[in-house]
């Protein structure tokens, strides 16, 4: 984290773990995030937090998951200069519960915002809703294998949908986060943002730790804000498998990283 910050990169830390099996496990996740906030404060790191509501036990007890989220958000506000906490999006079955939990929390705590997945058919309307609320959105392509009645399929279709949602956010959203490693999409956003009245301080690019690090630094050198998504922890296997299945190029990047390359 210190190394990333030294190179002008901010970050978002994600303590890996999802679909907890019982209330005690959800409590441990909540406690872990509270401890993480204290460690960030003590280290003066420039980072946000990311979390999954399934790790907070939303499938076990919605009210308890909301209480865990509130505790994390309140502690972040008390301890951190930048207390923003991103609510990650998971599979389609958890989309409605995640957005419902976000909106219920948003009523009293504004230091949070959701991730929206561009490939879902409903995402343009979800983007419009978040713009209406004034919430900060992280836009990504989508990492789950959803059926055609739920999501668009095919490279060109996903590219087109992502760009349409990015333009929607750049037109009316609050400090949108554009999360992609695709140079073509990044180039298109850089081209269209000034035409929509958005300067480099009005949005940020987000990329995964270890994926296209040279591009991350090139963007910083060009004056853009770049946040690196940094997952960590013992529950890494499921996350890694999903990332490998998501994009074939992710496997190449991972192997390069293991070999010490860039």
Kindly name the residue from 86, 138, 198, 227 that is annotated as catalytic: 138
Q: Are strands 10-15 and 177-179 parallel, antiparallel or unpaired?
A: unpaired
Spatial separation of the C-alpha atoms in residues 258 and 103, rounded to whole Å: 40
**Residues composing the chain:** 262
Neighbours of 60 (CB within 10 A): 16
- At how many degrees (to 10) do helices 213-221 and 183-195 cross? 20
The DSSP annotation for 51-90 comes to E-TTTTTTTT-HHHHHHHHHHHHHHHHHH-SS--EEE---
Where helices occur in 93-210 by DSSP H, the ranges are 95-106, 123-133, 155-172, 183-195
**Catalytic annotation, pick one of 14, 86, 88, 212:** 88
Nearest to 36 by CA among 19, 49, 53, 18: 49
Active site residue 138: yes
Please return the burial class of 20, using the count of CB atoms within 10 Å of its CB with bins 0-12, 13-18 and 19+: buried
35 has catalytic annotation: no
Active site residues: 88, 138
């Amino acid at each position: 984290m210190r190394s990333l910050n030294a190179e002008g990169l901010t970050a978002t830390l994600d303590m890996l773990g999802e679909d907890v099996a019982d209330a005690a496990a959800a409590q441990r996740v909540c406690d872990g995030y509270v401890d993480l906030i204290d460690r960030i404060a003590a280290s003066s790191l420039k980072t946000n937090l990311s979390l999954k509501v399934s790790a907070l036990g939303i499938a076990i007890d919605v009210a308890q998951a909301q209480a865990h989220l509130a505790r994390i958000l309140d502690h972040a506000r008390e301890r951190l200069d930048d207390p923003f906490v991103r609510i990650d999006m998971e599979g389609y079955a958890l989309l409605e519960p995640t957005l419902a939990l976000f909106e219920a929390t948003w009523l009293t705590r504004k230091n949070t915002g959701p991730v929206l997945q561009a490939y879902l058919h409903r995402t343009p309307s979800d983007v419009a809703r978040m713009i209406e609320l004034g919430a900060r959105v992280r836009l990504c392509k989508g990492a789950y294998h959803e059926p055609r009645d739920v999501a668009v399929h095919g490279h060109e279709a996903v590219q087109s949908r992502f760009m349409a949602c990015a333009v929607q956010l750049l037109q009316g959203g609050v400090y949108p986060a554009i999360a992609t490693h695709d140079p073509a999409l990044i180039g298109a956003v850089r081209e269209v943002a000034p035409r929509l009245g958005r300067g480099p301080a009005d949005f940020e690019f987000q990329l995964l730790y270890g994926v296209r690090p040279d591009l991350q630094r090139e963007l910083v050198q060009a004056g853009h804000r770049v946040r690196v998504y940094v997952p960590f922890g013992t529950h890494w296997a499921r996350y890694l498998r999903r990332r490998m299945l998501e994009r074939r190029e992710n496997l190449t990047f991972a192997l390069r990283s293991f070999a010490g390359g860039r």
